[in-house]
Amino acid sequence: MNSLSQIWSKRFTHYLTEVQKYMRFVFTGHLAIVLVFVFGAVGYNYSEWLKVVESSFPAEWLVAVIIGAILAFSRPITLLKEPDQVYLLPLETKMDYYFKKALQWTFFSQIGLVAVAYIVGIPLLNEVTELSSGQIWLGLGIVAVLKYLNVQIEFNFRYALRGKWVLIDRLIRIVLSILAIQTALTENLLFTVIYLVIFIVYNLIWKKSVNDQPIPYEHFVKLEQNRMMAFYRFANYFTDVPHLRGAIRRRAWLNFMYSLVPYTKTNTQGYLVFHTFIRTDDHFYLWVRLTAISALIAAFVNLPVVILIVAAALSFATTIQLKYALLSSKEFRMDMLFPVDPSLRTKAVHKLIRTFVFLQAIIVLICSIGDSLFYLPPLLILIVSELTFYLSKNPNNR
């Protein structure tokens, strides 16, 4: 028992250190600025909408569907590593203690998102329903119980079936969670209790099927690796993650774009840089995400100042991150074997970024049509991008 306690304690400490190491770069970058204005804009529009929402609006169902969907995504955080498939085999009969700690952390690390989503819905419930404060807060308690049961069920289900049919289990829990929350918010507490009992029985069935089964180390290790890789990919948008290698995809559906860059001797770097950008997940999806955020803000936020600030911040982020990502790569490239002028790659990168920033500006312009100052956000995107080129240093790409 002591050895498992030490194993969990060391891994948990290392995990927190790893997360904190990268998260400090995330929330000192452009994301923190964007989130402040996005939350402010969304909060303002939400409060304005509450003033005109009709009393017949199905607030209970809306809150129940959103919370139920979030509750069902309760992937266990086990912190297991690949060597555990061998080295923890002698302790397999005592792993209940380790998994108990893992599920406790899973619950506490995930309950915050559910609680915030529910609390955001409280003003809507107060405006539309006749629920008392005690009944609304009782609903939050029921949500916490449902979260605990969802965490336990997903772990036992994955354990019993080795990760198969998880989607079916998740759909069942979404439906049960929605019904339990909706009945709690419509004061049908008897039905709420019935749904909670169904949850408990459902959990006991899968917990019983786990007994005497070997631990599916391979599934839990793969699940943990995928979870951490997703975190590293996210952190890599804000700082360099040394051990992360971006996935490369053919993207055949974008074949028509390759004809835009001629395959000629004089355009070696332009051809190489364009293909690198399109086929590398980290580069391509970075542009897609930042452009999508800018477009959504321009389309749905009615505060011109917020739109301009977000457009400028994300234009800067797009330019600076793509510039450093494409110019600071230390991986071997075939062009390093040939006497190609290094400045040609810099020019090719700048041309590519200018092209896609211009495309970003066009998309924001389309989403802004209808506003009186619809031309300002795309204009600001282009200006900020150019200033970023001139004021930032060129990293060494060799």
Q: What is the mean pLDDT of residues 44-63?
A: 87
What is the C-alpha to C-alpha distance for residues 181 and 146, in angstroms, rounded to an integer? 9
Q: Point out the least confidently predicted range of 101-105, 191-195, 236-240, 372-376.
A: 236-240
What's the pLDDT tens digit per position in 156-193? 999 988 888 999 999 999 999 999 999 999 888 899 99
What's the pLDDT tens digit per position in 199-242? 999 999 999 988 878 889 899 999 999 898 888 877 776 666 76
Q: What percent of the chain has pLDDT over 90?
A: 34
Non-local CB neighbours of 201 within 8 Å, separated by 6+ positions: none
Structure tokens at 78: 């086990």
Give the residue from 248, 242, 395, 380 showing the smallest Cα distance to 320.
395
Non-local CB neighbours of 365 within 8 Å, separated by 6+ positions: 374, 375, 377, 378
Top pLDDT among 44 and 154 is at 154
What is the C-alpha to C-alpha distance for residues 265 and 271, in angstroms, rounded to an integer? 10
Confidence band for 100, pLDDT divided at 50, 70 and 90: very high
User: Is the pLDDT reported for residue 345 higher than 50?
Assistant: yes
Question: For position 329, what pLDDT does the model report?
Answer: 61
Q: What is the mean pLDDT of residues 124-142?
A: 89
Going 78 to 18 to 83 to 87, the CA torsion angle's sign is negative
User: Is the pLDDT reported for residue 397 higher than 60?
Assistant: no
Q: What is the mean pLDDT of residues 354-370?
A: 89
Contact 110, 116 (CB under 8 A): no
Q: What is the mean pLDDT of residues 138-151?
A: 94
Question: For position 330, what pLDDT does the model report?
Answer: 56
Tell me what percent of the chain is helix, strand and coil, each rounded to the nearest 5.
75, 0, 20
Burial of 182 (0-12, 13-18, 19+ CB in 10 A): buried
What is the C-alpha to C-alpha distance for residues 392 and 398, in angstroms, rounded to an integer? 18
Mean pLDDT for all residues in the chain: 84
User: Is the pLDDT reported for residue 23 higher than 60?
Assistant: yes
Structure tokens at 284: 């391509």
Going 122 to 127 to 128 to 129, the CA torsion angle's sign is positive
Q: Point out the least confidently predicted range of 96-110, 144-158, 250-264.
A: 250-264
Question: For position 398, what pLDDT does the model report?
Answer: 43
Confidence band for 369, pLDDT divided at 50, 70 and 90: confident
Q: What is the mean pLDDT of residues 89-118?
A: 91
Non-local CB neighbours of 49 within 8 Å, separated by 6+ positions: none
What is the C-alpha to C-alpha distance for residues 68 and 74, in angstroms, rounded to an integer? 11
Q: State the DSSP string of 224-254.
A: HHHHHHHHHHHHTTTS--TT----B---GGG
Q: What percent of the chain has pLDDT over 70?
A: 86
The phi-psi region of residue 386 (left if phi > 0; otherwise alpha if psi is between -120 and 50; otherwise beta) is alpha
Question: For position 204, what pLDDT does the model report?
Answer: 93
Question: For position 29, what pLDDT does the model report?
Answer: 54
Rg for the chain, CA atoms, rounded: 25
What is the C-alpha to C-alpha distance for residues 229 and 245, in angstroms, rounded to an integer? 10
Angle between helix 59-72 and 166-185 (nearest 10): 150
User: Is the pLDDT reported for residue 142 higher than 90?
Assistant: yes
Other CB atoms closer than 10 Å to residue 328's CB: what's the count? Answer: 12
Other CB atoms closer than 10 Å to residue 346's CB: what's the count? Answer: 18
What is the C-alpha to C-alpha distance for residues 344 and 276, in angstroms, rounded to an integer? 15
Confidence band for 284, pLDDT divided at 50, 70 and 90: confident
* Residue 267 CA from chain centroid, whole number: 37
Question: For position 326, what pLDDT does the model report?
Answer: 80
Give the residue from 167, 239, 159, 173 showing the smallest Cα distance to 206.
159
What's the pLDDT tens digit per position in 287-342? 888 898 888 888 877 778 778 888 888 888 888 888 887 876 656 566 665 666 66
Angle between helix 133-161 and 95-128 (nearest 10): 140
User: Is the pLDDT reported for residue 79 higher than 50?
Assistant: yes
Highest mean pLDDT among 90-104, 164-178, 243-257, 288-302: 164-178
Question: For position 104, what pLDDT does the model report?
Answer: 94
What 3-state DSSP class applies to 53?
coil
Contact 96, 207 (CB under 8 A): no
DSSP-derived letter for residue 338 is S
